[in-house]
């Protein structure tokens, strides 16, 4: 029996493209050659003007919609809004969803083999930034024959990429969809990332990032990092509603084991993540977040950065998101408005905190869908 | 040259009392014998009705005011409000400040020697709760000839002890001073504690809490726990004002070292704490926080718990405290009001987050002092 719903893109298969042309990075370093793994949904029209780029956040990847096989229990990470008749309607749009450089789901990253040494890169893999990812995604666009995206869309770190696209290649993007994002991290955001990295890098199994050679992984550190991340993705209210002070067992044990359901949940989340995700990629993603600051080149003036932007913008935030609160989206909206750009902004009621951009919510998806329907594409 | 200010209690010396009578704990376990280390400031009057008990929070101890020697660079942790002419005026009050059971600053705790095994207790030290501390502090009151506290005062976890005193020994306390506290932890509060414990307990140097025997300490785990704690003590705004995105060096290095000042600050705080604090005590204190829930015995009805309370209450909270936000203090205020108790409550503007209760602020200290001046004591 199939789990696949009727409004799904169905079964999808990741594709891989190999690139031999070196990519210059913001750090001054170079990545000589690399693979891009990506998925596509829908069809590119003959005018090639209906392509939508999906940018993923920290722990997601190219698998944004559909299923990998019959009986696959979970669809892609943004299946709520990508599919026939959905907000990003695959009957109209050709959706391209790449896995970012540095990731651990197929595209070249720290656990890939460095052709120079025939060993895994580990921490020799260069730091990559949002600017680098946009250059990397442009290479993919060129290869796929897309000279202009109808839209570039993402949430959180993905929203930063959409924003950066509008700045970096102003004539290659008609609409930027920036959800639950921020124009740069706050000191508190950086601090949480610093704690996560500290947990990973001080794990005795980290071995300076060369744990692959020791046949181990820094699972404890990655578990702590993910547990911490989870707290920042959920709202205080949502955690309260879901777990409150509910006990794991019938009564308190007064020991250092798990007493409360919320502890049990976090440990489970941390463990399952540590089993599937590469610690070096986690470090790299948190650094990309830290470095993102497009206004820095204009002395902190975000509206100056938007002077040359041509894209129209759709921004959305969620009331209980305290990682990237509505106030952070409003910083972007204000700067766009000041620069005279077209921007639609909506703040949605949600109890799901930062994770709200991944959760079905009629108001959010209706507004997102309405915006997308107004994007003109050739028949 | 002395650093000691004129309105200081001056040089103080901790005292130790040994107790042989076993103390029954909430867990059902027993602690056979123990030391209480404490400091006192001011003089007990002949009616013995001017004693104020100070309850410390997670990482503080008995050293609440004054200096330990000439040239001591820092006074006790609550020196802003304890001293001659200060909010808790030592010209009027006899202040008693004990180090809690389970701590690592002198009172019996996990790194003390268990007389049964002649080894450090480690994780064999029983879990202690706020209820246990109140019983333990009562033993000290008995020994010092104090049959009723003029006031019991504390912030954060210390405020929980003041609250518990009013519930547990209603005729032994005239005023409860509960600052920046909460009637119980939220799921998010518990979650942060769970992450801190996970970091410590998964450190390869933890050895199931028997690290003393291995001549090591789980410094990396404790460092991560403290870094995380620090983020929750400070407000997002305060971190932003203090550090923003200021760089540690002239320019970005694009590596896994420290790039931003806030990372540098957190690492420093984490390291200095890991060098002085005992990891088992940290675990124990977070557990005491988790377990605190006086309303639980009344099916969650806090006002029912307050029916038998006789003390009058002074509560204070701070606008940017997101660890124990003003809303948490208001839960206590509402329940006290419902139970017909006398309560003064003030919310103070402050940028310092949870740490605000430790920081000089005229409005806060003036109101605190005004309340304390109204407490009647014999001449």
Tell whether A153 is covered by a domain. yes
Residues A272, A306 within the same domain: no
What residues in A contact B293, CB-CB < 8 Å? Answer: 245
In the residue annotation, B147 being an active-site residue is answered as no
Question: Looking at residue A247, which CATH number applies to its domain?
Answer: 1.10.1740.110
Is the separation of the CB atoms in B72 and B63 below 8 Å?
A: no
Residue from A8, A59, A105, A156 carrying the catalytic annotation: A156
Helix, strand, coil percentages for chain B (3-state, nearest 5): 40, 15, 45
Tell whether B4 is covered by a domain. no
In the residue annotation, A202 being an active-site residue is answered as no
Per residue in B209-267, pLDDT (tens digit) is 999 999 999 999 999 999 999 999 999 888 999 999 999 999 999 999 999 999 999 99
Question: Looking at residue A97, which CATH number applies to its domain?
Answer: 3.40.50.1820
Q: Which of B260, B286, B312 is the last residue of a domain?
A: B286
Q: DSSP of A172-241, one letter per residue? A: GBSEEEEES--SS--HHHHHHHHHHHHHHHTSTT-GGGTGGGGT---HHHHHHHHHHHHHHHS-HHHHHH
Q: Which of B239, B269, B286 is the last residue of a domain?
A: B286
Residues B222, B162 within the same domain: no
In the residue annotation, B321 being an active-site residue is answered as yes
Burial of B294 (C-beta count, 10 Å sphere; 0-12/13-18/19+): buried
pLDDT in tens, chain A (379 residues): 466 777 999 999 999 999 999 999 999 999 999 999 999 999 999 999 999 999 999 999 999 999 999 999 999 999 999 999 999 999 999 999 999 999 999 999 999 999 999 999 999 999 999 999 999 999 999 999 999 999 999 999 999 999 999 999 999 999 999 999 999 999 999 999 999 999 999 999 999 999 999 999 999 999 999 999 999 999 988 899 999 999 999 999 999 999 999 999 999 999 999 999 999 999 999 999 999 999 999 999 999 999 999 999 999 999 999 999 999 999 999 999 999 999 999 999 999 999 999 999 999 999 999 999 999 999 9
**For A240, nearest residue in chain B (alpha carbons):** B187
- The span from the CA of B296 to the CA of A135, in Å, is 57
Q: Residue B290, Cα to own-chain centre: how many angstroms?
A: 14
Residues A199, A136 within the same domain: no
DSSP-derived 3-state class of residue B84:
coil
Tell whether B5 is covered by a domain. no
Residues B196, B165 within the same domain: no
Per residue in B5-63, pLDDT (tens digit) is 779 999 999 999 999 999 999 999 999 999 999 999 999 999 999 999 999 999 999 99
Is the separation of the CB atoms in B370 and B344 below 8 Å?
A: no
Instruction: Answer yes or no: do B260 and A190 touch at CB < 8 A.
Output: yes
Closest CA to B224 of B245, B247, B202, B244: B202
Instruction: Answer yes or no: do A198 and B224 touch at CB < 8 A.
Output: yes
Residues B178, B204 within the same domain: no
* Best of B187, B203, B210, B245 to mutate (most A CBs within 10 Å, chain A): B187
Q: How far is B359 from chain A (nearest CA, A)?
A: 20
Tell whether A8 is covered by a domain. no
Q: Which of B258, B286, B314 is the last residue of a domain?
A: B286
Burial of B126 (C-beta count, 10 Å sphere; 0-12/13-18/19+): buried
Q: What integer is the mean pLDDT of B84-101?
A: 98
ipTM of this complex: 0.94
Tell whether B169 is covered by a domain. yes
Counting Cα atoms < 13 Å in the Cβ hemisphere of A54 gives 30
Residues B334, B305 within the same domain: yes
Beta-carbon contacts of residue B56 (< 8 Å; ≥ 6 apart):
B62, B64, B77, B97, B99, B100, B154, B157, B158
Cα dihedral across residues A39, A43, A47, A52: positive or negative: negative
Residues A161, A35 within the same domain: yes
- The span from the CA of A78 to the CA of A66, in Å, is 9
Q: How far is B280 from chain A (nearest CA, A)?
A: 10
- The span from the CA of B226 to the CA of A287, in Å, is 21
Q: What is the pLDDT of residue B2?
A: 65
- The span from the CA of B307 to the CA of B336, in Å, is 8
Tell whether A176 is covered by a domain. yes
Closest CA to A316 of A360, A362, A339, A348: A348
Mean pLDDT of chain B: 96
Whether B1 has a pLDDT exceeding 60, the answer reads no
- The span from the CA of A220 to the CA of B205, in Å, is 13
- The span from the CA of B190 to the CA of A73, in Å, is 31
Residues B55, B162 within the same domain: yes
Domain that holds residue A278: 190-286
- The span from the CA of B172 to the CA of B146, in Å, is 9
Tell whether B379 is covered by a domain. no
Residues A159, A195 within the same domain: no
Residues A234, A355 within the same domain: no
Q: What is the pLDDT of residue B171?
A: 98
Tell whether B10 is covered by a domain. no
- The span from the CA of A339 to the CA of A167, in Å, is 13
Q: Check whether B355 is labelled as a binding-site residue.
A: yes
Instruction: Answer yes or no: do A224 and B199 touch at CB < 8 A.
Output: yes
Q: Check whether A111 is labelled as a binding-site residue.
A: no
| Count of structural domains within chain B | 2
Residues A120, A178 within the same domain: yes
DSSP-derived 3-state class of residue B342:
coil
* Best of A126, A199, A203, A225 to mutate (most B CBs within 10 Å, chain B): A199
């Amino acid at each position: 029996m199939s789990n696949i719903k009727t409004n799904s893109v169905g079964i999808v298969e990741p594709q891989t493209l190999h690139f031999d042309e070196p990519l210059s990075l913001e750090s001054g370093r170079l990545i000589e050659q690399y693979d891009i793994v990506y998925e596509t949904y829908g069809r590119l029209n003959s005018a090639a003007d209906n392509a939508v780029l999906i940018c993923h956040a920290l722990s997601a990847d190219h698998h944004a919609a559909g299923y990998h096989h019959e009986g696959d229990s979970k669809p892609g990470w943004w299946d709520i809004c990508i599919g026939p008749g959905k907000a990003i309607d695959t009957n109209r749009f050709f959706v391209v969803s790449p896995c970012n450089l540095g990731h651990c789901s197929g595209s070249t990253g720290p656990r890939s083999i460095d052709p120079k040494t025939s060993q895994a890169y580990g921490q020799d893999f260069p730091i990559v930034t949002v600017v680098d990812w946009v250059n990397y995604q442009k290479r993919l666009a060129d290869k796929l024959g897309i000279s202009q995206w109808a839209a570039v869309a993402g949430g959180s770190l993905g929203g930063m990429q959409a924003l950066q696209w509008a700045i970096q290649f102003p004539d290659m993007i008609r609409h930027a969809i920036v959800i639950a994002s921020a124009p740069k991290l706050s000191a508190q955001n950086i601090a949480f990332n610093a704690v996560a990295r500290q947990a990973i890098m001080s794990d005795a199994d980290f071995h300076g990032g060369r744990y692959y050679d020791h046949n181990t992984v820094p699972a404890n550190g990655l578990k702590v990092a993910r547990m911490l991340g989870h707290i920042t993705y959920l709202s205080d209210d949502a955690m309260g509603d879901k777990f409150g002070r509910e006990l794991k067992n019938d009564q308190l044990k007064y020991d250092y084991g798990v007493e409360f359901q919320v502890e049990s949940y976090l440990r489970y989340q941390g463990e399952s993540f540590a089993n599937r995700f590469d610690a070096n990629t986690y470090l790299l993603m948190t650094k990309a977040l830290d470095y993102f600051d497009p206004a820095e080149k204009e002395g902190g003036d975000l509206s100056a950065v938007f002077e040359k932007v041509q894209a129209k913008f759709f921004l959305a935030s969620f009331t209980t998101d305290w990682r990237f609160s509505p106030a952070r989206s409003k910083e972007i909206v204000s700067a766009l408005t000041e620069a005279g750009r077209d921007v639609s902004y909506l703040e949605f009621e949600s109890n799901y905190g930062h994770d709200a951009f991944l959760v079905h919510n009629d108001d959010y998806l209706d507004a997102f869908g309405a915006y997308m329907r107004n994007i003109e594409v050739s028949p």
